[in-house]
Structure formats: structure tokens, C-alpha cells
Structure 1
Amino acid sequence: MTFSTAMSGLNGAQTELATMANNIANVGTNGFKRSRVAFGDIIAASPSQNPSRTIGSGTYVKAVAQQFQQGAIETSDSALDLAISGQGFFTVRAGEGDGETSFTRNGAFGVDADRYVVDASGRRLQLFPTTTDGSVLTTDLGSTIPARLPLTSGDPRPTGLIKLAVNLPASATIIPDLPAYSAGNPYAFDRNDPATFNNSTSTTIFDPLGNPVPANVYYIKTAAPSPGQPDHEWTARVFVGPTELQVAGVSGINMRFDANGALVAPAAPVTFDPFGLPGAGMTTGLTLDHGVATTQLTGGFSRISVEQDGYAAGQLESILVDGSGTLSASFNNGEIHTIGKVAIANFASPQGLKPLGDARYVATPDSGNPITGEAGRNGLGSVRSGSLERSNVDLTAELVGLIAAQRNFQANAKAMETDSALLQTIINLRQ
């Protein structure tokens, strides 16, 4: 009897030693939760036995329970390193569709070759689907979607309108009157010859395929006020890439300024004839609006403002996960898209979860079904981006406990040794 009692103590001490050794081994594992062994004593008694003389029959391991206290949260340099501050687990799934769903506190996520957000084992982080403004459509676990980062955003938009405001110098020389362009050598505009225009400016627009194309405007002063014509006259020549734009088949836009330097004509935006762009594979139209801010005043040439309404398809520039778990992607065209909201799950009894390794767990009847919801609501913790939850193992406490478990093991071994010696003595007496 004593032998079996001590043996149960040895087995229990060995289980506790193995559990503490596992805790110590995983002190550096992100999201790891330490385990604690719970023991129960064994009582074997008959109904007629005197309760005051009942002797225990040893011990047994009731459970090796995970302790889900929060581990320390440390900052990192990756926006996809996530930590839950409070209760809950990240939801990850292996592959598409019916892949195994598991739960983890280890938020060290990265991006695979297919741009899915995955853990170190390739399991995909799950999101609740949302509207474009970030409102969650459903928190049902079966409706979650894998987190995937897009490379581009939307379709390109060709430039249809350029808003340009400049100041043209009132003292500019009239180009046709330059000596180099006398009656024997008539004026001929050449955008590569600065002597054939007074000033120029440029901007970048986008063709129908989203390719950037330079747009250049050359200003030529053609006439000063005269008794019959009180306005200053200019011509604007517009080029997109190598192509000069025309209005009704005529190159150049006639511009007139009154004596106060205000733009008189054109009084409305000018729309050019459709034109083709090399490599774009199609034609497009373009409107130029000099607006009321364009002037002819004293001083030098200056560009006051320029705007255009085209853009290329946006390229992924950065990602952000806020405290509510909303995953957003920013693109270099200024667009911001909400991809989804990180799915957080909790359990009525987390100690009932079955560990799978890699700080992952699956639900069991003891844990109950997962209770899913948005981060920061209904008792669930908030999500911290650029952070990782460390193991909750207290190394000092584990080493002290390891010594105590070792002493326990030695004491039970000594009890077995003593019981063996007593049995040997009894055997010898019978001889």
C-alpha cells in the first residue's frame, strides 16, 4: 500500500517537473501561457470504516491547466505585430473554406506570397467583413474572411480637367517683333527654342491607362494695347507629351487681358479636340481652365496654382490596425480602403481549450463554443498594432517551483526506498 502511494507521488512530481520544464522552455515564446498542475488526493474507504482512521492512498493529477493571465506587451517595428490588451484570442484558419479554425494570443503575423496575413505556420488571420466606412456586417465565426493586402486600389482615372492659374508679366516682349523674326524670317513657334515663347510651365497628368504624362503650356505675347484694341494679347500653346492640342483643328488658345491685368478671354474653360497618346491605345479629351486667378501684372512670370483630376491606380503604401482591430490600407494615390476588422474570440472557460502548439488552441466541450465580437466591446480586449504579447511565465517563480517539485520527487522516492527496506526486513524475519 505504501509503495503504490509513494509511486503516485512520484508520478505526480514527475508531471509537475515536466510541466515546469515546459514553462521554462517557452519563456521566450510569444503568446505562450504557462501551465499549472492541479493535484487531488486519493481516498479508498468502505462505508463501514471509521472516518477518523481513514488513510489516503496517494495523489493523482486532476488537470494540467493553462493560466491565461496577460503577458507583458512589448513594442515592435511591424504594423502586423498585434497584441490583445485584455481578454480574447485572434482567430486563424488553415487555408480556404473548411480549414481548421484555431485561436491564439501570438500576434506575430506576416504576409505570404499571395499577400495573405499569416502566422508563422501559414495560417491566415481572420477578419469580420465590413462596409467601406468600417462598420462590421456580421460577427459570425462562419462568415469571417482571410486578411489579404491588396497591391492596387481601384482603376486609373484619366485627367479630364487642368485648373491652372499663372501671372504673365505685363512687360513681356512681343515675340513676333523680335529681330530674329523679321518679315524675311517669319515667326515660327518651336517649343525647343526659348526665343519663340515668353514663358512656360508644366504639370503631370494621367492617360486612360494611368500612366503619367507631362503637360506643358507655352505662353507667347502677341500684341500690346492699341487704339483699336485696348487689351494685351497672348497665345497659349499646349502639349501633352509630344502631341500639341488643338481646338476645332487650330493650335493655340488666344488669351486677352484688360488694362487692369484681369483675364478677359477665354471667359470659360477650353476643351481641346480628342487626341491620342502613345501607348495609351485610345483617345481622350482634356479641358484647360485658367480661371479668374490668372493675371497679367507687373513682375515676373509665376505659377499661382495647378490642379488636375486624374490619378493612376493606387499602389499599396502602408497598412494600419487601430485599437478596434480595423485593418486599413493606404495607397499612394491618397485612397484609404478598409479591408476588415480583426475577429476576436473568447470562451466561457479558456482553461478547457486544447493546446495544439505554436501557442494555438482549439475549442472543446470543456471550453464551450467561441464567443466572437469586435475588439474593445462586450468585455473583449483592444488590439495594439506594433506590439507583441510575451510569455506570461515568471522565470524566477518557475525555478523555485522546480526545486520544490524536485524535493517532492526525492521525498517520494525515499518513501519507496523505506517501504522496500521494510518489506525486505519482513521477508528476512520469515526466513
Structure 2
Amino acid sequence: MGFQQGLSGLDAASKNLDVIGNNVANANTVGFKKATAEFGDVYARSLVGASDTQIGQGVSVTNVSQSFTQGNVTITGNPLDIAINGTGFYRTVDTSSGQVSYTRNGQFHTDKNGFILSATGQNLTGYGVDSAGKVNTAVLTNLQIPVNDLAPLATTNTTFGINLDAAATPPTTTPFSNTNSATFNHSVSEQVYDGTGTAHMLTNYYVRTATGWDVYSQVDGNNPTGGNPLTSLTFNSNGQLTSSPSKVAVAFGGMSIASMDFTGTTQYGGGYNDTAPGVAQDGYATGRLASYSVGTDGIVTARYSNGRTATLGQIAMANFKAPEGLQSIGGNQWVETSNSGAPNLGTPGMGSFGLLQSSAVEQSNVDLSQELVNMIVAQRSYQANAQTIKTEDTILQTLVSMR
């Protein structure tokens, strides 16, 4: 009798309902990818070859495949919620076991040491930076947001690219005094820093002479160790700087500046201009982490209280020739298998890799409406197979009752 077909149908429909139920249960799971039960018919093997009257033995679940289609992206406001727009996976490492896994769940956070962790506690891997602050894509590392303050940097180079008024005349009051504006024509100041990050005010005073300009330099009102004037500037008839050298070294008590660059200084008519090309220096004070952000290219950037920014690294991404061959280990994580192939690593936006969106997460790609319809179909299939068994039982009872 044909109980086998009905029983296999019940088993297949039950597994199908399990798959649908799992999809529905994870409809709100970030980064979840829905699965679909795939079926195949079953035939008994014949030793004498094919038969025109061969009857199938029922159905079996041949595979449960996952669909890696894009889920909807939802804004969260958390800078470490990062959604993938496109293909690819995050690469994570379990520090205790060393197991590498891959995920689409972009809900990250930091631990007490600043390491970026996935929702299940694995380290997010990426590419670190070299001593020059450039991303080094040759070596993978666990990404970290430093919890320590940014060390200060002493000023070693300054630039004073300003325009001096060609119509200016030498002061009638001498000698130079920084407290008497009648003894100089113009002054420009900028903040500089010593090795401890302490700020000081550097001021250059420009005094018109018969042949050009004398530059008097002071830090917090103190003259340089070599005395003033620091240097003299001369210009040609077109207002271009002709004095050499245009860069000078200067030392003050407690700090020294290796290069004070006057290369951009001009002497044109129309008054003084301190923004052409401007005044700048390369030092900064101690900085505390104020915020951080992740760009669409996966670059993690920190912003400090002293106005500085620093590149901390770049998120790495992985893709597979056959992502359907990945093995799910729970927690929205997959591991590679021989069916998926080895991972192809890269960075967001490179090749076929998708871009990242910070302060957002990728929702599950489960369509609840479709799943509820599938549930009805699976339920009806279960009922129909149960009816097959009931009918077979009725026939069997009839045969047993024959005398």
C-alpha cells in the first residue's frame, strides 16, 4: 500500500513549515537571510532498468537554500551601526578560538580596550594604518578605536604667507617695541605648541625700511635667543619676494621652530592681507576623542577635541563565488566551506563589493506577507498528505474485511 508517499509528504511539509517558521521568527533579526526548502521526488531503483509503470516513492527535502538578497536599510543614529549596500560580508574573528566567520549584521560596539566587536562578540577585522597614517591593505588586523588621548605634537614648521602693503612707509618712532604700535607697520600672530602641547602665541612684527621689511619675532612677548630682527625681506618691482633664504630657523626659551617659511609673502598695493596664502603651523595640543565615523568606503576616522582628525583603519569585506554554500553557525554568522570556495577579500566599493552606510542597519530580507502565504500552502500540503494516508487506511480496512 502507498503509505510511504503520504508519510514522506508529511515529513517534507513539516520541514517546510519549520523553514517558514524560522523565517517568520527572524523577520526582525538584523542581517538575517531567509531560507527556502527545496524538494525532490523519490523513485525506487530497479535492477532491470527503467519501467513505463514506475511509481514514485514520495518526496524528500533535497536542500535548504538561503537567499542573500539585499534587505531594507534602516537609520539608527548609532555610528557603529553599519549597513552593507550591495554584496559582501563583514569578516570577524573569535579571539578565544581564532575561528573566522562572516556576517551581514552590522550592529557593532566597542569593548573596554576600544576594539570593535560584532553583536556576538567577535572582533571586526580590517586594515590598519602605517606610521604615516595611510591605510595598509597588505595586512589584516582587528580594528580598534583608541581610548587614550592623542599625544601632542610640537610646532616645527610655520608659514607666514601674507601681503605687505607696498605703499607703507618706515615708522617715525624708533626703536621697535611690541607694546608701541607706532614702531611697527603690521603684525601677524598664530598659536604654536611646545613638546608638552602647551599653547604659546607667536607674533611676527613687520617694520618698513628703506630697502624692504625687518621682521621681529616674539613668543609670548619674549625675543628669540638669537635676538631681533629675525630676518629682512626684500621684494622686486613686481612685489615678488627676492630675499634669501626665505626659510629661517628660530629658537625661543623652551621651544624651537625648525622652519619659519616666508615664501608666500608678497608686497602688493591695496593694503595688508593675512590670508594670501595665509598663516599656518604643524603642531597641536593634547586631544581627547570627541567622535568617530565610518565612511562609505569603510574608512574609520576619529575626531579629537584639539581639532585634529586621524584615520584609524578601513573595514575589510569578503565575498564568495558561491555564498549559498556557506554554512550557518547561528548568530547571523557563516563559515566558509568547500562548496562556498575561499573568500575574496577587499574594501567597500572595490570591484563588486557594496558600499557601507554608517548609523544604519540592514534589516532581514524576510517578506512576511509571502511567508504567510507559503505557510498556508505548506499547511494545505500537510493536510492533503494526511488525507492520502487516511484514504490508504480506508482501502486497507476494506481489504481486511473481505471474506
**TM-score, normalization: structure 1?**
0.69
The answer as to whether partners of 2:42 and 2:58 remain within 8 angstroms in 1 is yes
CA contact (8 A) 2:318 2:344 kept: yes
Q: Which residue does the alignment assign to 1:158?
A: 155
- Aligned position for 2:313: 339
Matched residue, 1:411: 384
Matched, 1:400 2:373: yes
Residues 1:254 and 1:114: Cα distance change in structure 2 (over 3 Å): closer
Aligned-partner residue type, residue 74 of structure 1: V
Alignment of 1:229-378 (within 5 A): 231=210, 237-241=216-220, 243-246=221-224, 248=226, 250-253=227-230, 268=245, 274-277=251-254, 283-285=255-257, 288=260, 290=262, 293=265, 295=267, 302-303=273-274, 305=276, 306-312=278-284, 318-322=293-297, 327=299, 329=301, 337=311, 339-340=313-314, 342-348=316-322, 350-365=323-338, 367-374=339-346
How many Å separate the matches in 1 of 2:301 and 2:2?
68
The offset of 1:404, in angstroms, is 0.8
**How far apart are 1:312 and its partner, in Å?**
2.8
Contact residue 168 and residue 185 of structure 2 kept, 8 A: no
Identical amino acids, percent of aligned pairs: 24
Q: CA deviation at 1:410?
A: 1.7
Deviations 1:314-339 (A, max 9, x none): 878654343xxx63647677877583
Residue 207 (structure 1) aligned with residue 194 (structure 2):
yes
Give the match's secondary structure for 2:24: helix
> For the Cα contact (< 8 Å) 1:321–1:327, is it kept in 2?
yes
| Post-superposition CA distance 1:76-126 (Å, at most 9, x none) | 56586242524x433221227x52111223344454443333322232232
Q: Give the stretch that moved more between structures: 259-268 or 41-50.
A: 259-268
What SS does structure 2 have at the residue aligned with 1:246?
A: coil
Structure 2 contact 81–361 (Cα < 8 Å) conserved: no
Cα distance, 1:25 vs structure 2: 2.8
Q: Distance in 2 between matches of 1:404 and 1:13?
A: 9
| Equivalent position of 2:352 in the other structure | 381
Is the contact made by 1:208 and 1:284 (CA closer than 8 Å) also made in structure 2?
no
Q: RMSD between aligned alpha carbons?
A: 4.7
Structure 2 counterpart of 1:148, from 135, 144, 148: 144
Structure 1 alignment gaps of length 5 or more: 138-142, 177-186, 225-230, 278-282
Bigger mean CA deviation after superposition, 389-398 or 351-360: 389-398
In the other structure, the counterpart of 1:100 is 99
Question: In 2, are the aligned partners of 1:95 and 1:124 still within 8 Å (CA)?
Answer: yes
Which runs of no fewer than 5 residues in structure 2 stay unpaired? none
Q: Read off the aligned partner of 1:165 and give its amino acid letter.
A: I
One-letter code aligned to 2:61: V
Question: Deviations for 1:319-368, whole angstroms, at most 9, x for unmatched residues?
Answer: 4343xxx63647677877583562413144x3332212232212334x25
The alpha carbon displacement at 1:427 in A equals 7.1
Determine the C-alpha separation between the residues in 2 that align with 1:48 and 1:265.
Answer: 105
Q: Secondary structure at the match of 1:8?
A: helix
Aligned equivalent of 2:82: 81
CA distance in 2, matches of 1:11, 1:260: 97
SS in 2 for 1:12: helix
Q: CA deviation at 1:384?
A: 0.7
Structure 2 residue identity aligned to 1:158: T
1:401 deviates by 1.5
* Preserved CA contact (<8 Å) 1:133 1:338: no
Deviations 1:281-319 (A, max 9, x none): xx424554556845597x765536443442338878654
Check 1:271–1:59 CA distance in 2 against 1; reply closer, same or farther (3 A cut): closer
**Paired amino acid for 1:26:** N
Structure index of larger Rg: 1
- Give me the whole-angstrom Cα distance separating, in 1, the residues matched to 2:236 and 2:44: 115
Q: Does 264-273 or 103-112 show the bigger shift?
A: 264-273
Contact 1:272/1:287, CA 8 A, preserved across alignment: yes
Q: Report the secondary structure of 1:33's partner residue.
A: coil
| Structure-to-structure mapping, 1:3-42, within 5 angstroms | 3=3, 5-42=5-42
Q: Secondary structure at the match of 2:354?
A: strand
Q: Aligned partner of 2:172: which letter?
A: I
Q: Do the aligned residues in 1 keep the contact of 2:250 with 2:259 (CA within 8 Å)? A: no
Rounded to whole Å, the distance in 2 between the matches of 1:331 and 1:12 is 56
Separation (CA, whole Å) in 2 of partners of 1:74 and 1:31: 10
